[in-house]
């Protein structure tokens, strides 16, 4: 029993065991104590302890492409038998051939066609099931691990620590809201109602005697860049006091968070570990971190150097 006891005490002493004892960890813990310690001059009442997290590149990995893109490619392959015309039609033909250059060449228009073919024209429940089925079986091409194990152990600890300290944790991601909701509660402890993301319009209709919600091929919200504060206000209705991101797509969320009154915290995850994960920033086609890195430096926001500040990247394999 003694080792278990020690482990428990140590765990209680250190809420962030996968964070090295460097500046980011110290800054996080100092901020949390400042806003949660009774009697602190900067005490924040529990209902106002709102923390928002970007997903791709902040809570889980995003290389070599956003994982939602792998879902889309796999769905196109799964649906291809019902769409013989896709063999001749771009961008579907390139997806079916595994020709990523061809997919990229189809540009934004091609991406929207792939999104429409795999995300719309079905009920929200049918879509949700397609995500649940996929995420339960799909594996990352480089690591061979399930995508739900390509999450960052230090960030799992951080979200749990904040919740233990009375924070409400939200995801605010450019990814699809309905793509995330089926698994965020199990993987991150963040329930569907605390997930904000990009979305299409929905239509309610009666299918005979049964009501159904259909996903339409019309954009409702692009929850990225300027869209992040919009998504935050629409869904949460109050300004976060802490925000966590990894790219220029998070800059406006961090600006919006930091511009409120009272104590504030902003953090960027900088991908610097080519060995244990990936290293990329200013010129990356995914998760470009350029302007936000300059602003973080200028304003003294916390920047995590993954290689230097995290003792573990992913959770142990199950």
Site residues, its own copies (CB under 8 A): 47, 50, 124, 168, 170, 177-178, 181, 185, 191-195, 199, 202-206, 210-211, 213, 220, 226-227, 229-230, 233-238, 252, 255-256, 259
Q: For Ca ion, which is the closer residue by CB, 54 or 215?
A: 54
Among its own copies, Ca ion, none, the one that 157 touches (CB under a kind-dependent 5 to 8 A) is: none
Least gap, CB of 91 to its own copies (angstroms) = 28
What does 246 interact with, of Ca ion, its own copies, none (CB < 5 to 8 A by kind)?
A: Ca ion
Name the one range near Ca ion by CB under 5 A: 1-9, 49-57, 76-84, 111-119.
49-57
Strands 195-207 and 210-221: antiparallel
Alpha-carbon distances, residue 51 vs 34, 151, 215, 304 (angstroms): 15, 18, 29, 17
**Which of Ca ion, its own copies, none sits in contact with 120, Cβ below 5 to 8 A by type?**
none
**Cα pseudo-dihedral 274, 176, 246, 283, rounded to 10:** 60
- 107 vs 191, beta carbon nearer its own copies: 191
Residue 54 interacts, among its own copies, Ca ion, none and using kind-specific CB cut-offs from 5 to 8 Å, with Ca ion
Cis-peptide, bond into residue 64, ω within 30° of zero = yes
Please say which residue, 244 or 314, places its beta carbon nearer to its own copies. 244
* List of residues 6+ apart from 303 with CB closer than 8 A: 24, 267, 268, 270, 293, 296, 297
Q: Check residue 252 for interaction with Ca ion (CB under 5 A).
A: no
**Closest to 194 measured CA to CA, from 206, 184, 208, 179:** 184
227 vs 287, which CB is nearer to its own copies?
227
Write out the DSSP string of 55-96: -BTTTB---SS-HHHHHHHHHHHHHGGG-GGGGGSTTHHHHH
**Among residue numbers 262 through 291, which ones bind Ca ion (CB under 5 A)?**
none
Structure tokens at 8: 């428990």
Nearest partner of 304 among 315, 291, 289, judged by Cα: 289
Question: Given the complex with its own copies, which of 39 and 45 has the nearer CB atom?
Answer: 45
Rule CB under 5 A: is residue 182 a binding residue for Ca ion? no
CB of 45 to Ca ion, least distance (A): 30
Two tokens, residue 208? 């005979």
Q: How many CB atoms lie within 10 A of CB 238?
A: 11
Closer by beta carbon to its own copies, 203 or else 282: 203
Q: Which of residues 51-70 bind Ca ion (CB under 5 A)?
A: 54, 56-57
Torsion on CA atoms 84, 87, 90, 91, rounded to nearest 10: 90
Point out which residues bind Ca ion (CB under 5 A): 54, 56-57, 246-247
């Amino acid at each position: 029993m003694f080792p278990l006891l020690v482990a428990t005490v140590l765990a209680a002493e250190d809420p962030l065991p996968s964070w090295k004892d460097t500046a980011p960890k110290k800054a996080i813990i100092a901020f949390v104590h400042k806003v949660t310690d009774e009697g602190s001059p900067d005490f924040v009442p529990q209902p106002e302890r709102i923390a928002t997290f970007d997903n791709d590149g902040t809570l889980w990995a995003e290389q070599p492409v956003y994982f939602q893109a792998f879902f889309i490619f796999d769905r196109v392959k799964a649906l291809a038998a019902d769409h013989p015309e896709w063999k001749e039609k771009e961008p579907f033909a390139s997806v079916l051939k595994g020709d990523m250059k061809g997919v990229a060449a189809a540009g934004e228009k091609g991406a929207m066609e792939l999104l429409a073919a795999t995300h719309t024209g079905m009920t929200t429940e049918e879509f949700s099931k397609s995500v649940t089925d996929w995420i339960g079986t799909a594996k990352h091409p480089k690591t061979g691990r399930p995508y739900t194990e390509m999450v960052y152990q230090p960030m799992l600890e951080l979200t749990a620590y904040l919740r233990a300290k009375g924070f409400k944790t939200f995801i605010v991601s450019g990814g699809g809201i309905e793509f995330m909701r089926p698994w965020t509660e199990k993987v991150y402890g963040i329930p569907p109602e605390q997930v904000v993301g990009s979305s299409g319009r929905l239509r309610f209709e009666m299918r005979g005697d049964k009501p159904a919600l259909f996903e339409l091929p019309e954009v409702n919200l692009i929850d990225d860049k300027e869209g992040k504060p919009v998504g935050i206000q629409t869904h949460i209705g109050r300004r976060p006091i802490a925000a966590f991101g990894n790219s220029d797509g998070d800059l406006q969320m961090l600006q919006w968070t930091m511009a409120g009154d009272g104590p504030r915290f902003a953090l960027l995850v900088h991908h610097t570990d080519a060995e244990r994960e990936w290293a990329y920033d200013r010129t990356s086609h995914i998760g470009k971190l350029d302007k936000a890195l300059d602003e973080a430096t200028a304003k003294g926001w916390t920047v995590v150097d993954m290689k230097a500040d995290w003792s573990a990247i992913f959770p142990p394999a199950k």
